[in-house]
Amino acid sequence: MGKATPTRRAKSVVVVIGLGRFGKSLALELMRDGHTEVLGIDSNEDVVQGVSGRLTHAVVADATKEDALRQLSVQESDRAVVGVGSDVEASILSASVLVEMGIPNIWAKAISHSHARILTQIGVHHVIRPEHDMGVRVAHLVRGRMMDYIEFDDGFAMVKTPPPHEVVGLSLRESNIRQKHGVTIVAIKQRGKGFTYATAETVVEAGDTLIASGLIEDTERFSELA
């Protein structure tokens, strides 16, 4: 019996509408893994020329027109991103066309709360506000001693932080962090090593870096103890 031929991971296609700073950065990052084909669309010919050869396809088209998108077979993709920022009308119209075409996963950039609300109302699945979200993240970093911060839904967050002095030299079981501070240590990075999963027997040392998860207020308070 011959050896089985390994199956190759099928390439997926992502449509990115609007190739400004956000859309261009996102499209190029998607290309990096080698398993994603990116169709970049922008109404500005100079912008499209700037990414020509760096994306799978880059075309000049009016993404607010359904006929134009159908000519590019956008309806065959299951993922699309509307990266249009300053032109709110173009953003909403493009997103609306994608919704009407039945694209199952649509992301869209919003520049304001009202813009985000409209995108949600017309059926966009994932609305993102990069500038707002980054401002929130940096505010948390400035406020405490945490080294990084990620906020999820329902007031939940993960933080990267040095360990509080009170837990240094103790195992996670002995320090009783979850009961005392309401956070869970999910990973730890010791000096000269990479991150690894934390267990009850993991001993925390000075110079270690912790990844703690929990409610936003609890993770903030925990990072301030470091």
Per-residue pLDDT for 8 more than 50?
Answer: no
In this predicted structure, what is the pLDDT of residue 155? 86
- The 10s digit of each residue's pLDDT in 31-64 is 987 878 999 999 999 999 999 999 999 999 999 9
Across all residues in the chain, what is the average pLDDT? 90
pLDDT band at 122 (very low <50, low <70, confident <90, very high): very high
- What residue type is 123 in one-letter code? G
Q: Which two tokens stand for residue 180?
A: 């005392």
Task: For the chain, list the strands marked E by DSSP.
Answer: 12-17, 36-42, 57-60, 79-82, 105-109, 126-128, 148-151, 156-161, 184-189, 195-197, 209-215
pLDDT of residue 104: 95
pLDDT tens digits for range 194-211: 999 999 999 999 999 999
User: Tell me: the pLDDT tens digits for 23-34?
Assistant: 999 999 999 878
CA–CA dist 5, 48 (Å, integer): 39
Rg of the chain over all Cα atoms, to the nearest angstrom: 23
Predicted confidence band of residue 137 (pLDDT cuts 50, 70, 90)? confident
In the structure, what pLDDT confidence band is assigned to residue 94 with cuts at 50, 70 and 90?
Answer: very high
> What pLDDT was estimated at residue 11?
62
| Mean pLDDT, residues 112-139 taken together | 90
Decide: helix, strand or coil at residue 176: coil
The residue among 20, 15, 24 whose CA lies nearest residue 68 is 15
Q: Which residue has the higher pLDDT, 101 or 153?
A: 101
Among residues 74, 70, 64, the alpha carbon closest in space to that of 95 is found at 64
The predicted structure's pLDDT at residue 1: 40
DSSP state of 3: P
Q: Is residue 120 classed as helix, strand or coil in its secondary structure?
A: helix
- Core vs surface per residue 193-222: b (16+ CB within 10 A) or e: eeeeebeeebbbeeebbbbbbbebebbbeb
